[in-house]
Amino acid sequence: MTPGDISFLIIAIAILALVLFIGYFLVQLSATLNSVTQDVKLIAHDADDLLINTNDLLKDVNGKMVTVDPVFKAAGDLGISVSELNESVRKIKEKSGKKKSGLGFSLGTAATTANMFFNMRNKSKQKASRRGK
């Protein structure tokens, strides 16, 4: 064998080793891609199920909110009414506060007592609504 034949044989063996290495790498890459593809399909299926369940839950919550909205509106209206009543009691108290005897004094005391009652009632309702949240 001549030196040219030996160098040709070395180059042929190197190319064969390179082809074998690339073939092994491609087989491993193909197996990894198949595994990733299966995992992505599984995740996509689970995500679809999750979206379906989320949509059902959202419809349920929206339906319940429609049911509960009138309760909150009524509570708000009641709060406004109580505030207006408090304002009326304050005005009566101011008018009757000038007199310190007789009916005026009794009316002022009653107005003060009613005002304290409604203030305590408003505070307890506010606390209850905060706890309900």
Q: Which two tokens stand for residue 36?
A: 């990733």
Residue-wise pLDDT tens digits, 27-39? 999 999 999 999 9
Residue-wise pLDDT tens digits, 42-87? 999 999 999 999 999 999 999 998 888 888 888 888 888 888 888 8
Q: Rounded CA gap, 121 and 109, in Å? A: 18
Centroid of chain to Cα 15 = 61
Residue with tokens 């009326």: 88
Rounded to two decimals, the pTM is 0.42
Burial of 111 per CB tally in 10 Å (0-12, 13-18, 19+) = buried
DSSP percent split of the chain into helix, strand, coil, nearest 5: 95, 0, 5
